[in-house]
């Protein structure tokens, strides 16, 4: 068999003899891969430099802890959201789910007087329940994930209001998970965020489950034909999302010492922004948790900077929406550039 009997467009890059061409192709590929994370890091640095020039407080350690605390709830949910999007799925019910879980905690412990551990167990069960319901409709009934979770978004928001009678419920003495600083003066939510990100990083990179989710997103039919039990795995993804929702609900109610049924409104927008900004592809099959973490930081720094600069907080939403569109446009541009 001679080397050069396969005249394809890629032949130049494939033939072992063509040394420089191979190098060139490899370089091209690497250049294409690097921008995904590098662009995020650069953007984050530019943001950082800008705000540190504008405000003397920006670079304070405490301010950074503020930024991280502010994004903790979003980040804890963005981790499973990344996993789901990589498999081609969405969970829009996370915001109202978080509020719902908070209401359950405040209602059972604060209003009914149950013990804290029992309340936590009920909240965790509620989170799993949300995941099971979403997973059931998406995988067993076969409803599109966007529609299913849009429905549960409304249902959970409504149920939260029903249980709390539309009022903000007070919950005193449950500050541990939201406000304590057990280690190096770092708030617990930030530590939990770090642990969740590390966990999902490991799962997505080093487990059969993570690999399979990438495969499902890259090509659902091929995944099935390679023996991947897609429905079960996606079901699992929704349950993970529900568990993280329960966790973030607990953190939120602990931070505020109270729970409002309209809390965490629009959280799904922040989550989607972070995930997309982080480079996960809407078409599925691509994305990393590191990217999502960087996307999260970009949002956190932007919001924090705007506050430090005394910009009206209403502008935060405008900025975030703009960022989302910018991220998706950037993704499209990148696709077009890599095709050409």
C-alpha triplet 101, 147, 73: angle, nearest 5°: 35
CB of 17 to other proteins, least distance (A): 12
Q: How far is the CB of 201 from other proteins (least distance, A)?
A: 13
Name the residue nearer to other proteins (CB basis): 195 or 222.
222
Q: How far is the CB of 278 from other proteins (least distance, A)?
A: 16
Residue 111 or residue 219: which is nearer to other proteins going by CB?
Answer: 219
d(CA 275, CA 268): 10
Q: Report the residue number, 15 or 39, with the smaller CB distance to other proteins.
A: 15
The answer to whether the CB of 78 falls within 8 A of the CB of 196 is no
C-alpha 216, offset from chain centre: 18
Least CB distance from residue 270 to other proteins, whole Å? Answer: 26
- When the beta carbons of 15 and 132 are compared against other proteins, the nearer one is 15
DSSP string, 84-148: HHHTT---TTHHHHHHHHHHHHIIIIIIS---HHHHHHHHHHHHHHHHHHHHIIIIII---HHHH
The residue among 113 and 227 lying less far from other proteins, judged by its C-beta, is 227
Gap between the Cα atoms of 245 and 231, Å rounded: 21
CB 331 to other proteins: min, Å: 13
Rounded Cα distance, 260 and 11, in Å: 62
Binding site for other proteins (CB under 8 A): 1, 5-15, 21-22, 24-26, 28-29, 205-209, 211-212, 214-215, 218-219, 221-229, 281, 285-286, 340
């Amino acid at each position: 068999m001679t080397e050069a009997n396969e005249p394809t467009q890629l032949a130049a890059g494939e033939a072992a003899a063509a040394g420089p061409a191979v190098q060139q192709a490899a370089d091209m590929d690497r250049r294409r891969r690097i921008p995904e994370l590098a662009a995020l890091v650069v953007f984050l640095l530019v943001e950082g430099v800008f705000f540190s020039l504008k405000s003397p407080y920006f670079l304070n350690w405490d301010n950074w802890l503020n930024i991280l605390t502010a994004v903790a709830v979003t980040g804890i949910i963005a981790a499973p959201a990344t996993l789901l999007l990589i498999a081609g799925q969405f969970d829009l019910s996370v915001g109202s789910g978080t509020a719902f879980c908070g209401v359950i905690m405040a209602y059972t412990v604060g209003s009914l007087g149950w013990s804290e551990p029992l309340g936590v167990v009920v909240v965790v069960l509620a989170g799993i329940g949300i995941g099971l319901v979403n997973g059931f409709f998406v995988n067993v009934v076969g409803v599109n994930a966007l529609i299913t979770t849009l429905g549960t978004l409304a249902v959970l928001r409504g149920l939260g209001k029903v249980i709390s009678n539309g009022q903000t419920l007070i919950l005193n003495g449950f500050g541990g998970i939201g406000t304590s600083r057990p280690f190096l003066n770092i708030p617990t939510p930030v530590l939990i965020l770090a642990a969740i990100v590390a966990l999902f990083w490991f799962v997505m990179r080093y487990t059969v489950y993570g690999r399979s989710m990438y495969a499902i997103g890259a090509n659902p039919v091929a995944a099935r034909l390679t023996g991947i039990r897609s429905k079960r795995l996606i079901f699992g993804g929704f349950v993970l999302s529900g568990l993280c929702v329960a966790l973030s609900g607990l953190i939120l109610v602990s931070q505020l010492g109270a729970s409002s049924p309209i809390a965490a409104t629009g959280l799904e927008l922040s989550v989607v922004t972070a995930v997309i900004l982080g480079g996960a592809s809407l078409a599925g099959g691509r994305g990393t948790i590191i990217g999502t973490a960087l996307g999260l930081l970009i949002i956190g720094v932007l919001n924090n900077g705007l506050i430090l600069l005394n910009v009206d907080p209403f502008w935060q939403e405008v900025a975030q929406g703009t960022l989302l569109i910018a991220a998706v446009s950037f993704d499209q541009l990148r696709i077009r550039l890599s095709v050409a």
